[in-house]
Amino acid sequence: MSEQHIKLPEGSIEKTTTTLNLGPTHPATHGVFQNILELDGERIVSAEQTVGYIHRAFEKIAERRPLYQITPLTDRLNYCSSPINNIGWHLTCEKLLGVKTPKRVDYLRIIIMELARISDHLICNSIVGVDAGAYTGFLYVMQYRELIYEIYEEICGSRLTTNMGRIGGFERNFNDIAFQKIEKFLKEYPAVLQEFENLFTRNRIFMDRTIDVGPISAERALNYGFTGPNLRAAGVDYDVRVHSPYSSYEEFQFDVPVGTTGDCYDRYLVRNQEMWQSLGIIEQALRKVLEFKGAEAEIYHADVPEYYLPPKEDVYTKMEALIWHFKIIMGEINMPAGEVYQSVEGGNGELGFYLISDGGRAPYRLHFRRPCFIYYQAFEELTKGAMLSDAIIVMSSLNLIAGEMDA
Amino acid sequence: MPLTNDIIQQKLTEKFREQITDFTEPYGMLTFSAPKELNLKVLNFLFDSLDLKFRFLTDICAVHYPEQKGKELAVVYHIHNLEDNVRIRFKIFTDINQPDVYTATGLYSAANWMEREAYDFYGINFIGHPNLKRIMNVDEMDYFPLRKEYPLEDQTRTDKDDEMFGRGGAKGFGNERTDDGTMIEADKNAGEQII
């Protein structure tokens, strides 16, 4: 291991390492994490992670709720990219119920999911910069996260915890302002991302702080269950969007960027490249959406009266709509029995939903596969022998989100 | 030749004979179960076999079925073959009075926290696990909260009665409503007896 940094008097029997509680609420941990570090001088001898400070028992709560009431719970998993969680959950329900969504819905969903991916990655990468001492990039890209949130606002009315969409599609069609804002984002963001890259990618200090910090081999990463950008940075081209396409991803052209060493710098590069790819996907999807004309351009949900709320005018005037409205809101609709696993490529890895239904109104069991809960285990291996300041960077470059970890 | 569910089923049957049971394919994913003593043997075979190569552990979770006597708790493994891109689901069942299951941490480092989570919520005792203690809940907790005998809300409350939201009305726990509409209040100390 490391050499001895603190010299003690000879014959001393004192403990030679220092215990440091990093967290649970430390400004550098970006969330409620606790790391109990054993330090030899400034080198980390061992790290023990404690999680669960914001555990809210979502899996238990979900066993009492009808499907549509579970969507707000998924918001609070990875709250940097809530729409991906929402849509992943809707896809799980649709798989169980056998609902086929119209193409336009798929494309609209892809636009939203890729916007969410960009907002997730830009926060993660700029936070890595902040932890390395470069604050400018963070403030600069934050403006564009704001623009993404404005797009969410146009579509569903809320910003951070979006509760976006319904089983079968969206609650309303995208309005013109939403499309204008998406186009504005597509026009302005590439220059910003380019400038962000210019600030960091060949920055001497940034490179020194991230290259060879927290590396992991492809084999170890797979064994640790890494997914998403962290696995791709180690050199494995596994992407759920390519391997198990959902929401018509198979119709889109994009590259899967990979790294080689799996260190913080590679993770940063992979995320940046993914943002460029996401911009390309949004452009393709937007072109496909704008091709729909006339009545087709008004389609924004599948025809599933059992799960999709009828329009409010109909509820007041039509008997059947009133009945469906009541049944949906009270959660009195039984779903088919069965078990289903559906995963989506979340902001930080494969977000999976394992749903067991016994034919009742609520899931018998719902389990979330939360990517960062799984790869936070590797933190000790990644930081052993590293400096204390490296531990902070490793933590932010893994894109750990406390809400997702603790579920 | 692409790896299909039929081939996997055939290989498993060749190796373990009739010990692997309950082959089903819900929504296209091959699902099967084995006796709990065999879980490591099956996982190892799936990992090592050059035809199968199921080397990526996607998920471990536990499920509680109070109705199935002697097989109350299930441990569900989702395993992925990344080369051929096939997923399978493997289940083992265990008695709730002796929920001992061999750990998969020797095979997958990722299993460590997933098994701790299953222990924390369902009390499955993973034999050989390096650090089997609670992960989400406080260490002092002395029950396993996701088991079905623990209803979502405090059933001893008498100020609310709403079956839809998990309070009262149901049989067996909490306030019970008899057929003529009178309420029998729950034993306030019932919670302590369960623990």
Q: What letter does residue A310 receive in the DSSP assignment?
A: P
Please, are residues B108 and A223 in contact by the beta-carbon 8 Å criterion? yes
Q: Is residue A286 part of a domain?
A: yes
Over the stretch A300-320, which tens digit does the pLDDT of each residue have? 999 998 899 999 999 999 999
Q: Is residue A44 part of a domain?
A: no
Angle at A340 between CA A335 and CA A341, to 5 degrees: 140
On the question of pLDDT at A298 being above 60, the answer is yes
**Is B78 in contact with A95 (Cβ distance < 8 A)?**
no
Q: Is B5-127 CATH 3.30.460.80? A: yes
- What pLDDT score does A35 carry? 87
- What pLDDT score does B142 carry? 87
- What pLDDT score does A30 carry? 74
- What pLDDT score does A271 carry? 95
CB burial readout A58-74, b (16+ within 10 A) else e: bbbbbbbbbbbebbebb
Q: Which of the residues B113, B141, B165, B167 would you substitute to probe the A interface, choosing the one with the greatest number of A C-beta atoms within 10 Å?
A: B113
Q: State the ipTM, two decimals.
A: 0.89
Q: Is residue A42 part of a domain?
A: no
Closest chain A CA to residue B74: A365
Over the stretch A115-163, which tens digit does the pLDDT of each residue have? 999 999 999 999 999 988 888 889 989 999 999 999 999 999 999 999 9
Over the stretch B96-135, which tens digit does the pLDDT of each residue have? 999 999 999 999 999 999 999 999 999 999 999 999 999 9
Q: Is residue A244 part of a domain?
A: yes
Q: Which of helix, strand or coil describes residue A170?
A: coil
- What pLDDT score does A12 carry? 63
The lowest-confidence range among A167-176, B50-59, B147-156 is: B147-156
On the question of pLDDT at A383 being above 60, the answer is yes
CB burial readout A310-341, b (16+ within 10 A) else e: beeeebeeeeebeebbebbeebeeebeebbbb
- What pLDDT score does A343 carry? 94
Q: Which of helix, strand or coil describes residue B176?
A: strand
- What pLDDT score does A1 carry? 46
Residue among B55, B110, B152 whose CB faces A374 most closely: B110
What average pLDDT does the segment A357-363 reach? 91
On the question of pLDDT at A240 being above 50, the answer is yes
Report helix angle A136-156 to A103-131, nearest 10: 160
- Between the alpha carbon of residue A190 and those of residues A265, A305, A323, the distances in Å are 21, 41, 49
Domain boundaries, chain B: 5-127, 163-194
Domain boundaries, position A305: 58-406
Angle at B179 between CA B177 and CA B182, to 5 degrees: 45
On the question of pLDDT at A328 being above 70, the answer is yes
- What confidence category does residue B188 fall into, taking pLDDT thresholds of 50, 70 and 90? low
Give how many domains chain A has, as a whole number. Answer: 1
Closest chain A CA to residue B111: A224
Q: Which of helix, strand or coil describes residue A50?
A: strand
Measured between beta carbons, the chain A residues lying within 8 angstroms of B146 are: 57, 59-60
Q: Which of the residues A32, A33, A92, A223 would you substitute to probe the B interface, choosing the one with the greatest number of B C-beta atoms within 10 Å?
A: A223
On the question of pLDDT at A263 being above 70, the answer is yes
**Contacts within 8 Å (CB) and 24+ apart, B163-171:** B164/A330, B164/A331, B165/A64, B166/A64
Q: What letter does residue A223 receive in the DSSP assignment?
A: H
**Is B59 in contact with A369 (Cβ distance < 8 A)?**
yes
Over the stretch A20-62, which tens digit does the pLDDT of each residue have? 888 787 766 677 888 899 998 889 999 998 888 889 999 999 9
- Between the alpha carbon of residue A196 and those of residues A139, A265, A370, B117, B121, the distances in Å are 10, 15, 29, 39, 44
Interstrand relation of A43-50 and A365-369 (parallel, antiparallel or unpaired): unpaired
- What pLDDT score does B173 carry? 53
- What pLDDT score does B122 carry? 94
Q: Is residue A29 part of a domain?
A: no
Over the stretch A136-148, which tens digit does the pLDDT of each residue have? 889 989 999 999 9
Q: Is residue A197 part of a domain?
A: yes
Residues 356-395 of A with CB under 8 A from B: 356, 364-365, 367, 369, 373-374, 376-378
Q: What is the mean pLDDT of chain A?
A: 91
Residues 39-68 of A with CB under 8 A from B: 51-52, 55, 57, 59-61, 63-64
Residue among A95, A354, A365 whose CB faces B59 most closely: A354
Which domain CATH number covers A160? 1.10.645.10
